[in-house]
Amino acid sequence: MSNLYPTERQWISKYVSHFLPIGVNMVRRTQWCESYCPRCKIREETHHHLFHCQHLQSQMQYRKSLDDMSNWLTSQHTPDVLTLDLLNLITEWRQYGKIYASLLSPPIQDQLRLGWRHLMEGRLSVSFAKYMQEH
């Protein structure tokens, strides 16, 4: 987190603590009357919906974020197999809401046993961290 811009750290902190100004929170705080997504206007805007919204603007942001992540993983000298697995895992999770871990490399399977949220918050499984160090 120390390498991130202050605004990025703030967003991550708010996401992890479920304190983002999204539809359900804005209604609960009596700031908005409706909790629908301002982009797609179809669904209730929840933390889960932030990553699964199918609106064109959301899809473009997702593609840009995935490209940024790919570039960052490459700059960190992440093994190609892990980079591909991570990008596929994120795409699968976004499209289907679940992950088929049996198709992934063992270090990522171990990480997923620890939990997807832990991966997103930077807590790595022992085998994942060891694999990265050995590379």
Structure tokens that stand for 26 in this block: 């804005």
Q: Would you say 23 and 33 are in contact if contact means Cβ atoms under 8 Å apart?
A: no
What is the pLDDT, as a whole number, of residue 120?
Answer: 65
Digit-coded pLDDT (tens) for 37-54 = 989 988 889 888 888 888
Question: What is this structure's pTM?
Answer: 0.68
Residues counted in the chain: 135
CA–CA gap between residue 121 and residue 88 (Å, rounded):
18
Digit-coded pLDDT (tens) for 78-118 = 888 888 888 888 888 888 877 776 677 788 888 888 876 67
Cα 70–133–121 angle (5° rounding)? 55
The stretch 1-25 carries a mean pLDDT of 84
Is the pLDDT confidence value at 58 over 70? yes
Structure tokens that stand for 87 in this block: 């990008």
